[in-house]
């Protein structure tokens, strides 16, 4: 009989003792798994997400208190009082703060989770005396924790794959019906219950206080030599070369520069924490020197990254992502200055200051009036108010125009005569702020600016399309695409009797077909086919309409598009259906039509306009 792998036996033993050592952590995971299964069956995933995010924030903090207690750093009373405070705060966050349908809350959660992880990483140095001792305790705890989390997650992936495969095999071989949510239940049991349980089961090893330092493990040596050093050197070389180019040409740094420098900075500092044992390893003196010199190189690059973010802030205002990039770049700047000072003074590289500064930055970015969500909301509200004022659509600080109505299908409709043409940059400013505020902070963030009832608009884009504005075009610009629609309430004389078919948005790529009628788009024609036993096809020539739309100048312009929008006249909208034998079969009423210019053939400079889509009402004679 094959022996059970030692690591699996160790995990099983740790899990068995985890409940007595860290009961709150185990219960949080079990509750998350059970609640997940219930939510799947009761359409309560939004509520579950609230609880899951609260539990995810509580878990590292509660586990940190358990570690402190296991190390005899705090008393049992302090541990349980702190645990109760964390659970109350997490429950309040889940009940009163989390909105699962708002983008801003995703960024807040990520910042809070990062701050909680930073706090957990600093747990082993609490109450430890001696500089070198603190450095060793910090490295050992976090190296063991990272290794345990990585190995347990890998084990969880393998276990879930094996269990899901077994279920699939049994259901297929024995022709059994698999319960609807069985695979999701397995996922929740493995990753929400078992994985956290086994991770916290390593508490005895994580809480052990070693007698002293030791040589760097083989994995750390390989990590430093074959991953950290080459990757960091390549990125620094690329970024420094680009910095020289910017200095020589005077060009504005590209927007992608700040995320790359931010990632390089985080990789450099966080990676160096795991390489702490190499500091005194003569065989890896090159890696050690790179760790010590890295802050100086980063200090040269950070001004470019900060500049790139600040320029975009002036152009587009703050968003949570832009704010967090800026805040973390400033935090990296603090670390780079201190690290460079320590390099000049020949002191050991940064260690404890890295999670402390990054954690504090993330915490301040997540809570309070100067947090990323609060600052971003104020910035975009001010930007929207400024844009509406410049467009002449603001009175007493509120939107003074009307909103276009919605039809029975929830689409915005209205006459083109109501639309106000404004400069393209101003148009982009207004629609950008409206869509951001709606998605990031909810429709409530717009109620202070728009006096109308906004509950009927299901998205920011739908609300934007209801604002009667369009981007103006420069003189002489050519249209790239165009659309025309039949205004609601337009009388159409000459309609005949027959069977009515409604066909929505047939296009070149997607023809429309039902049991009785098929509509296709072919260049500048609509092809309408009816019948099975005695089929017929009518070709509707829309070339005059296509030419009219193509000849019109664009009335909406923006980056990458030049669009003309107009109304269909009753004469253009109503077309006769005549089959290939010249017999009149009925009529179609165009409700909307769109044209564009397809990609030109090889060697051609431009192509002719063609029909892109159409919506019709087809009236077929009996």
pTM summary value: 0.81
Is the distance from CB of 469 to CB of 391 less than 8 angstroms? yes
Is the distance from CB of 376 to CB of 323 less than 8 angstroms? yes
Taking only the tens place, the pLDDT of each residue in 395-454 is 988 999 888 877 666 666 665 456 788 888 899 899 999 999 999 999 999 999 999 888
54 alpha carbon, distance to own chain's centre: 20
Q: How far apart are CA 258 and CA 270, in angstroms?
A: 18
* pLDDT value at residue 37: 92
Distances (CA, A) of 229 to 239, 269, 385: 15, 12, 49
Is the distance from CB of 97 to CB of 368 less than 8 angstroms? no
Ramachandran angles phi, psi of 519, nearest 5° = -125, 130
Q: How far apart are CA 72 and CA 67, in angstroms?
A: 9
Is the distance from CB of 496 to CB of 587 less than 8 angstroms? yes
Tokens of 427: 């148009």
Taking only the tens place, the pLDDT of each residue in 563-597 is 888 889 988 899 998 988 888 888 899 999 998 88
Residue appearing with tokens 């008393």: 75
* pLDDT value at residue 323: 97
SS3 116: helix
Tokens of 622: 């009996």
Residues 117, 123, 125, 128, Cα dihedral to 10°: 180
582 alpha carbon, distance to own chain's centre: 56
Tokens of 134: 């603190």
Kindly write down the DSSP assignment for every residue of 144-182, as one continuous string: HHHHHHHHHHHHHHHHHHHHHHHHHHHHHHTTPPPPTTH
By CB neighbour count within 10 A (0-12 exposed, 13-18 middle, 19+ buried), where does 232 fall? buried
How many residues in total does the chain contain? 622
* pLDDT value at residue 26: 92
* pLDDT value at residue 207: 84
* pLDDT value at residue 479: 84
Full strand arrangement of the beta sheet holding 517-522: 512-513, 517-522, 525-530, 536-541
Phi-psi region of 135 (alpha: psi -120 to 50; beta: other; left: phi over 0): alpha
Tokens of 235: 């990125």
Is the distance from CB of 197 to CB of 14 less than 8 angstroms? no
Residues lower than pLDDT 70 in the chain: 1-16, 210-215, 407-418, 512-515, 600-607
* pLDDT value at residue 1: 40
């Amino acid at each position: 009989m094959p022996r059970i792998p030692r690591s699996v036996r160790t995990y099983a033993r740790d899990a068995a003792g985890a409940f007595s050592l860290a009961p709150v952590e185990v219960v949080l995971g079990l509750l998350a798994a059970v609640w997940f299964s219930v939510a799947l069956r009761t359409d309560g995933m939004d509520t579950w997400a609230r609880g899951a995010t609260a539990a995810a924030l509580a878990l590292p903090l509660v586990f940190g208190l358990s570690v402190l207690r296991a190390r005899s750093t705090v008393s049992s009373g302090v541990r349980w009082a702190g645990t109760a405070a964390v659970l109350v705060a997490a429950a309040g966050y889940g009940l009163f703060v989390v909105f699962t349908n708002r983008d801003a809350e995703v960024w807040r959660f990520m910042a809070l989770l990062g701050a909680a992880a930073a706090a957990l990483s600093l747990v082993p140095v609490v109450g430890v005396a001696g500089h070198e001792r603190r450095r060793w305790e910090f490295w050992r705890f976090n190296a063991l924790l990272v290794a345990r989390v990585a190995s347990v997650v890998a084990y969880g992936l393998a276990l879930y794959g094996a269990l899901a495969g077994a279920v699939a095999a049994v259901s297929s071989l024995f022709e059994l019906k698999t319960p609807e949510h069985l695979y999701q239940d397995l996922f929740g049991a493995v990753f929400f219950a078992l994985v956290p349980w086994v991770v916290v089961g390593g508490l005895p090893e994580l809480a052990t206080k070693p007698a002293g330092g030791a040589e760097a493990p083989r994995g750390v040596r390989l990590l430093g030599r074959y991953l950290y050093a080459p990757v960091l050197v390549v990125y620094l070389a690329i970024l420094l070369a680009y910095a020289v180019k910017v200095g020589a040409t005077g060009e504005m740094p590209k927007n992608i520069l700040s995320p790359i420098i931010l990632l390089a900075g985080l990789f450099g500092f966080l990676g160096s924490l795991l390489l702490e044992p190499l500091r005194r390893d003569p065989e890896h003196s090159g890696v050690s020197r790179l760790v010590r010199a890295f802050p100086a190189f980063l200090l040269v690059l950070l001004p470019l990254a900060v500049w790139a973010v600040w320029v975009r802030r002036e152009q587009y205002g703050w968003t949570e992502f832009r704010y967090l990039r800026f805040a973390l770049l400033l935090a990296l700047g603090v670390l780079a200055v201190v690290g460079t000072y320590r390099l000049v003074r020949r002191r050991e590289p940064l260690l404890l200051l890295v999670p402390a500064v990054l954690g504090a930055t993330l915490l301040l970015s997540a809570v309070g009036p100067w947090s990323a969500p609060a600052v971003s909301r104020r910035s975009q509200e001010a930007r929207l108010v400024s844009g509406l004022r410049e467009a002449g659509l603001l009175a007493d600080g509120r939107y003074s125009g009307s909103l276009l109505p919605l039809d029975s299908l929830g689409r915005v409709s209205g006459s083109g005569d109501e639309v106000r043409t404004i400069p393209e940059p101003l148009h982009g400013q207004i629609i950008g702020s409206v869509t951001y505020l709606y998605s990031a902070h909810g429709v409530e963030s717009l109620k202070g600016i728009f006096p109308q009832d906004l509950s009927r608009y299901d998205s920011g884009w739908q609300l934007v399309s209801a604002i009667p504005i369009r981007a103006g075009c420069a003189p002489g610009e050519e249209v790239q695409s165009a659309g025309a629609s039949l205004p609601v309430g337009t009388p159409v004389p000459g309609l005949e009797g027959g069977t009515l078919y409604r066909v929505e948005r047939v296009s070149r790529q997607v023809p429309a077909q039902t049991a009785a009628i098929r509509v296709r788009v072919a260049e500048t024609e609509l092809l309408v086919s009816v019948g099975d036993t005695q089929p017929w096809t009518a070709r509707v020539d829309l070339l005059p309409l296509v030419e009219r739309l193509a000849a019109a100048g664009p009335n909406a312009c923006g980056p990458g598009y030049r669009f003309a929008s107009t109304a269909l006249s009753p004469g253009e909208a109503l077309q006769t259906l005549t089959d290939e034998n010249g017999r009149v079969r009925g009529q179609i009423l165009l409700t909307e039509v769109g044209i564009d210019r397809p990609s030109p053939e090889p060697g051609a400079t431009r192509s002719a306009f063609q029909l892109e889509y159409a919506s019709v009402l087809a009236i077929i004679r009996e």
